[in-house]
Structure 1
Amino acid sequence: MRLVAFLLSGPTAHHHGMWRHPETDNAFLTPEYYEHIARVLEAGFFDALFFADILALMDFYKGSYETVLSHGGQMGLLDPMPMAAQMARVTSHIGLGVSVSTSFQHAFQIARTFATMDHLSGGRMAWNIVTTSSSPQWANFGLPATPRDQRYDIADEVVEACTKLWDSWDADALVIDKASGRFADPEKVHRVDYAGTYVRTRGPLTVPRTPQGWPVLMQAGSSPRGREFAARWAEIIFTLQHAIPDMQAFRSDIHARMGQRGRRPEECQVLVSVDPVVGETRAIAEEKAAYLSELVNPELGLALISAHIGMDLSRYPLHQPLEDVAIAEGSRGSFDVILQGTRTHGLTLGDAAKRFAVSELCPQVIGTPSDIADQLQAMFDSGGCDGFVLTPTTFPGCYEQFSRAVVPELQRRGLVRTRYEGRTLRDTLRA
């Protein structure tokens, strides 16, 4: 069972009242905050942690970012790459993932940054590949938003160019022989001369080949085009699914698409998002979850759904089913995931907004450590997933509790490692 921790450099993750909880540490502008959680997660034998990133203050709702900013909604306040470097310094085994969009950086810069980080981390980097759908993020780069399928066409070329740049140094190209005065073997460093429709780069990369060769590739697209991209490239897929049948259907679809490309299912770990709430008893855990739910603002939920689907929902009545909202813009994959969660319970727009603000409609696992292990094992054993992306409900307490109480129960059942094997993140995922 794979375990990956979701992080965001801001007040919240999926639970949009997290920053208001009395036990949450809001020191997200300090290095100690990130160093501590990296140590906690490594002590809990997590495969990896990764940072989502948001490159704008979202202003779809009422044409303003006032609601998201004033109520502490989802936002990325810091560039996550320097934080990953900080975390690499205080850990030895856990993987370190960073989201970088293929829409705003050239392939050469992406390849150079991740190769540098892979060296500095000893081979533990992962790239969460995003294409960026929301127009406010495009506007911050002075660009009009590109249609989804074209974004993925560009992303295919960016990743392909990056892989060629990473491969432009042979593993033994560096000689560093003081006696002979030979530093490197030029015959083992190669031009790339990549020329696609959208991306061109000459190469070679300026960074020697890294411990992993490439960073581990992550992806989270939900649309058919996003799934095709994942089937070609992803080694880890992060997905929001609402129930075991949805998980099974998604994983089967990904495996079928991978098979058409000659890839084996074990080459990609499909991880579903869950939000844990741990209690000493089930009643205490349920009481905790109810208290957490009261910390979210329903209007913030409406603003967040607006940001995810790329349209202003303030013009719709709260009693209207979200399924009846006509969508002709924004991220279709995100909208389908949200719809999937509302159809199950027949939620109105107002109900969905409240639930979205609590967990972004992904499953909550609530109870004692044994209860939570039961729930995770049921999803895992059903074939619905290869593991989980856990998102915090308080910080850092949620991850501390999970690592101290739930992980030992999963270890007792033989579901989670008791030690790290191998040297790199890719070694860890294959062990």
Structure 2
Amino acid sequence: MSGRKMHLVAFLMAGPTCHHHGAWRHPETDVDDILTPERYEHIARVLEAGKFDALFFADILGIYDTYNSSFATMLGRGGQLCLLDPAIILPMMARVTDRIGLGLTCSTTFFNPYQIARQLGTLDHLSRGRVAWNVVASHSTLEANNFGLAEMPSRAHRYDRSDEVLEACMALWNSWDEGALVLDKKQGIFADASKVHYADYNGQWIKTRGPLTVPRSPQGHPVIMQAGSSDRGRDFGARWGEIIFTLQHQKGDMQTFYKDFKGRMAARGRAPESCVVLPSIDVVIGETESIARERADYVNGLVDTQLGMACVSGQIGYDLSQLDPDQPLKDVKVETGSRGTMDVILQGTEAEGLTLGEAARRFATSELCPQLVGTPEMIADKLIDLFQDYACDGFVLTPTTFPGMYEQFAKTVVPILQERGVFRKDYAGSTLREHLQD
């Protein structure tokens, strides 16, 4: 097959787990090196050898403490934590790689656009054009409290502010024209000041004068990545996004989202192919199907009930420690917090007659990412089916064992995708935006 190619992005967190809350306990998962640069340099090399478009770090600016009004369970049992600042890790990964894209999560709610533009512009230079910005309009009161806010603004307000932050950042990145740096020693001309401009951005919430101190970077501006799935979030992504990170469980739901999102892009006058839609996928690979299923059962069984309850509590903003984990899920009454969010988190489990504790463990295995289990050929078949039937443009992979799952995927599944002509055998370009246009 020739033509359209699949895109792959790796999901990372600087903590014990990346979605699967039992994986850090697996004997094949490395945790002793979690605070070392070698851990992150190694996985960057692995993913580049597998020709992934990019890797990116999700980030949480705090430790969930909703369950039992304490962070003891999330921290003590190794829930989804961000122990290190990815902005410090990514330059180390850039130094040991040449092609793979590098994504950083920055909140438009808490961070100033001048700071964002300067930081990401610098990293785009130092990586020679490989940076993505995972734009988040933060929603957690926990994070708000850490930044001195009593509560979060409304969703509409957050996205309106996000639009202004993006507009301001773009104005700052565009404050340097191409060729502004002259570097002529003989004539004593370092830069052509006529090619540098004030941004003079004035919005309702955001104001910045500029110009940016950082010259125009190799990509002009970082690739914009986003994961909003609400109606307002989709509109935001349709305006700005070049990578959309999404989550659906079934092929039909993926196709519906894909068609809706590409239609929103077209309505804005954007070419639908200028943004890739990548649903999240969790894989467990075995030499045979039965071995793969045994591996999945083992790693999924490492999630404990309390941690699952704490994870759900943090997501919905309601303390589930007040409820009996052995009660049927259908009998659970959430009086405060986000009932709608809980329905989404636990979707599909009520029909199975699960208890609250069982449903919480189910959520904590992969945070609802579909889990594909099988041989490398079976995994490749499923990915190709979804890709060719326009359920997506590729995938965001989340790991179970770390770094083993990524190593195994790169060595066994990627070659099959390459042989079948749906995935690159080598990078054609040098920047992340060029990878996405392959």
Question: Aligning the two structures, in what range does the TM-score lie when normalised by the shorter sequence?
Answer: over 0.9
Residues 208 and 322 of structure 1: CA distance in aligned 2, closer, same or farther (over 3 Å):
farther
Q: Corresponding residue for 2:3? A: none
Q: Hey, what's the Cα distance between the residues in 2 that align with 1:346 and 1:119?
A: 54
Q: In the TM superposition, what are the counterparts of 1:27-426 in structure 2 within 5 Å? A: 27-144=33-150, 145-318=152-325, 319-321=327-329, 325-326=333-334, 329=337, 335=342, 337-342=344-349, 345=352, 347-426=354-433
1:153, distance to aligned residue in structure 2 (A) = 1.0
1:382, distance to aligned residue in structure 2 (A) = 2.2
1:306, distance to aligned residue in structure 2 (A) = 1.6
Residue 97 of structure 2 aligns to a residue whose secondary structure is coil
Q: Deviations over 1:374-427 (max 9, x none)?
A: 111122122111111101100110100000011001111111100101121001
1:107, distance to aligned residue in structure 2 (A) = 0.3
Residue 160 of structure 1 aligns to a residue whose secondary structure is helix
1:178, distance to aligned residue in structure 2 (A) = 0.6
1:280, distance to aligned residue in structure 2 (A) = 0.8
Residues 286 and 148 of structure 1: CA distance in aligned 2, closer, same or farther (over 3 Å):
same
CA contact (8 A) 1:322 1:339 kept: no
1:55, distance to aligned residue in structure 2 (A) = 0.7
CA contact (8 A) 2:346 2:359 kept: no
Q: Hey, what's the Cα distance between the residues in 2 that align with 1:322 and 1:109?
A: 47
For the aligned residue pairs, the C-alpha RMSD in angstroms reads 1.7
TM-score normalised by length of structure 1? 0.96
Residues 278 and 74 of structure 1: CA distance in aligned 2, closer, same or farther (over 3 Å):
same
1:342, distance to aligned residue in structure 2 (A) = 3.6
Q: Hey, what's the Cα distance between the residues in 1 that align with 2:227 and 2:309?
A: 22
Letter matched to residue 11 of structure 2: F
Q: Deviations over 1:196-219 (max 9, x none)?
A: 011000011100000000100001
CA contact (8 A) 1:322 1:352 kept: no
1:361, distance to aligned residue in structure 2 (A) = 1.6
Report which stretch shifted further, 346-355 or 55-64.
346-355
Report which stretch shifted further, 317-326 or 286-295.
317-326
The percentage of counterpart residues that share the same residue type is 59
1:345, distance to aligned residue in structure 2 (A) = 4.9
Q: Hey, what's the Cα distance between the residues in 2 that align with 1:209 and 1:154?
A: 24
1:340, distance to aligned residue in structure 2 (A) = 4.0
Residue 115 of structure 2 aligns to a residue whose secondary structure is helix
1:69, distance to aligned residue in structure 2 (A) = 0.9
CA contact (8 A) 1:97 1:127 kept: yes
Q: Deviations over 1:27-79 (max 9, x none)?
A: 11000000000000000010000000011010111211111111100010000
1:327, distance to aligned residue in structure 2 (A) = 6.9
Report which stretch shifted further, 108-117 or 319-328.
319-328
1:329, distance to aligned residue in structure 2 (A) = 4.0
CA contact (8 A) 1:251 1:385 kept: yes
Residue 303 of structure 1 aligns to a residue whose secondary structure is helix
Q: Deviations over 1:283-316 (max 9, x none)?
A: 1110000000111112211211121222222334
1:249, distance to aligned residue in structure 2 (A) = 1.4
Structure 1: stretches of 5+ with no match in the other structure: none
Structure 2: stretches of 5+ with no match in the other structure: 1-5
Q: Hey, what's the Cα distance between the residues in 1 that align with 2:144 and 2:296?
A: 36
Letter matched to residue 91 of structure 1: T
Q: Deviations over 1:171-222 (max 9, x none)?
A: 1111110111011111100111101011000011100000000100001112
Residues 314 and 246 of structure 1: CA distance in aligned 2, closer, same or farther (over 3 Å):
farther
TM-score normalised by length of structure 2? 0.95
CA contact (8 A) 2:124 2:131 kept: yes
Question: Are residues 1:23 and 2:28 paired?
Answer: yes
Letter matched to residue 131 of structure 2: M
Question: Are residues 1:7 and 2:12 paired?
Answer: yes
Q: Hey, what's the Cα distance between the residues in 1 that align with 2:131 and 2:123?
A: 7
CA contact (8 A) 1:133 1:330 kept: no
Letter matched to residue 125 of structure 2: H
Residues 9 and 341 of structure 1: CA distance in aligned 2, closer, same or farther (over 3 Å):
farther
Residues 312 and 195 of structure 1: CA distance in aligned 2, closer, same or farther (over 3 Å):
same
Q: Hey, what's the Cα distance between the residues in 2 that align with 1:63 and 1:284?
A: 40
Aligned length: 430
Q: Hey, what's the Cα distance between the residues in 1 that align with 2:153 and 2:318?
A: 16
Letter matched to residue 108 of structure 2: T
CA contact (8 A) 1:8 1:53 kept: yes
Residue 38 of structure 1 aligns to a residue whose secondary structure is helix
Q: Hey, what's the Cα distance between the residues in 2 that align with 1:39 and 1:324?
A: 46
Letter matched to residue 329 of structure 2: P
